[in-house]
C-alpha cells in the first residue's frame, strides 16, 4: 500500500515534469523515468510479461528513438505559451474532475481474489491468448509495424 502511494506520487510528479519543463531533453528523461515506474506498476499487478515488454520496447526503444531525434534536430527552447492557453489547462482539469467523480461514484471493486495462479500474466499465458484468440490482430499488428517502418524511411529521407 505504501509502495503504491510512493510510486503514485512519483509518477504524477514525473508526468508534470514531462509536461512543464522547458528543456526537451529533460522532458524526455522524465518520461523515461515515468515509464519505468509504470513498468513497476505492471509488475505489481501480476503482468510480468507486459511489464518487461514495457521496459524493453517503450522505455528502451521508443524513448531512445525520441532522444535520437531530439539530438538530431537540435531544437531551440520552446517559447512561453500565451497566457490565454492556461484556460485550456482548466478545461483539462475539469475533464479530470469529471472522470474522477465518475469513478468514485461507481461501486468499488474490491481487491479481488488473486487472479489465477502464478501462470497468470506469464509469457506462456499471454502467448496462448495471442496465438489463438488474437492471432488476426497479431498478424495485422506486424503489418502495421512494417508499414510504419517503410513510411518512416520514406518520410524522413533527404530529398535529392
Partner 1 sequence: MVASAPNPVAFDLLRWIVLIPLLASAFNLFFGQGLGKKNAGVLASAAVGASFALAFYVFWQLSAAGIFRDEVYTWMHSGSFQVNFSLQVDSLTAVMLLIITGIGFLIHVYSLGYMEHDEDMVRFFVYLNLFVFFMLLLVMADNLLLLFVGWEGVGLCSYLLIGFWYHDPNNCIAGNKAFIVNRIGDFGFVLGILLLLTELGRQGFWSLEFVELQKHASMLSPAIIGLVTLLLFIGAAGKSAQIPLFVWLPDAMAGPTPVSALIHAATMVTAGIYMTARLHFLFALAPQTLALIAAIGTATAFFAATIALTQNDIKKVLAYSTVSQLGYMFLAVGLGAFSAAIFHVFTHAFFKACLFLGSGSVIHAMGGEQDMRRMGGLKAHMPTTYWTYVIATLAIAGAPFTAGFFSKDLILWQAFSHGATVLWSIGLITAGLTPFYMFRQLFMVFHGECRADAHAGAHLHESPATMTLPLVILAMGSIFTGWLGAPEYLWGSRWDLWLEPLFGAAEAHHGSVQTEITVTLITLGVVAVGILIAFVKYGRASAKIDESAPPGGFFYRLSLNKYYVDEIYDAVMVRPFTVCSTFFASIFDPWVIDGAVDGVAATARGFSWIWRGLQTGNVQHYLAGLLIGTLALLAYYLGQL
Partner 2 sequence: MVPLNYYLILSAIVFAIGVVGVLIRRNLIVVLMSIELMLNAVNLTFIAFSRFLGSMEGQVVVFFVMAVAAAEAVIGLAIIISVFRHRETLDPQEMQLLKW
Binding site for partner 1 (CB under 8 A): 88, 91-92, 94-95, 98-99, 101-102, 105
Residue closer to partner 1, measured from CB, 16 or 101: 101
Identify whether the C-beta of residue 8 lies closer than 8 Å to the C-beta of residue 27: no
Considering CB distances under 5 to 8 angstroms, the limit depending on partner class, which of partner 1, partner 2, none binds residue 105? partner 1
Identify whether the C-beta of residue 32 lies closer than 8 Å to the C-beta of residue 59: yes
Considering CB distances under 5 to 8 angstroms, the limit depending on partner class, which of partner 1, partner 2, none binds residue 6? none
Work out the number of other CB atoms within 10 angstroms of the CB of residue 61.
10
149 backbone dihedrals φ, ψ, rounded to 5°: -65, -50
DSSP letter at 83? Answer: G
In the complex, least distance from residue 20 CB atom to partner 1, rounded to whole angstroms? 16
DSSP per-residue letters across 103-134: HHHSPPP-S----SSTTTTSHHHHHHHHHHTT
Residue closer to partner 1, measured from CB, 23 or 94: 94
In the complex, least distance from residue 100 CB atom to partner 1, rounded to whole angstroms? 11
Considering CB distances under 5 to 8 angstroms, the limit depending on partner class, which of partner 1, partner 2, none binds residue 60? none
Considering CB distances under 5 to 8 angstroms, the limit depending on partner class, which of partner 2, partner 1, none binds residue 135? none
Work out the number of other CB atoms within 10 angstroms of the CB of residue 38.
19
Residue closer to partner 1, measured from CB, 61 or 99: 99
Amino acid at each position: 500500500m505504501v509502495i503504491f502511494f510512493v510510486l503514485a506520487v512519483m509518477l504524477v510528479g514525473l508526468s508534470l515534469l514531462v509536461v512543464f519543463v522547458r528543456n526537451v531533453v529533460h522532458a524526455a528523461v522524465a518520461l523515461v523515468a515515468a515509464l519505468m515506474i509504470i513498468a513497476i506498476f505492471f509488475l505489481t499487478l501480476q503482468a510480468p510479461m507486459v511489464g518487461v515488454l514495457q521496459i524493453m520496447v517503450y522505455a528502451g526503444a521508443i524513448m531512445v528513438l525520441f532522444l535520437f531525434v531530439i539530438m538530431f534536430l537540435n531544437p531551440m527552447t520552446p517559447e512561453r505559451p500565451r497566457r490565454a492557453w492556461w484556460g485550456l489547462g482548466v478545461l483539462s482539469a475539469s475533464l479530470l474532475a469529471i472522470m474522477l467523480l465518475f469513478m468514485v461514484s461507481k461501486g468499488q471493486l474490491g481487491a479481488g481474489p488473486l487472479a489465477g495462479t502464478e501462470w497468470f500474466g506469464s509469457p506462456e499465458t499471454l502467448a496462448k491468448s495471442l496465438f489463438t484468440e488474437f492471432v488476426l490482430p497479431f498478424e495485422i499488428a506486424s503489418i502495421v509495424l512494417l508499414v510504419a517502418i517503410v513510411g518512416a524511411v520514406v518520410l524522413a529521407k533527404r530529398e535529392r
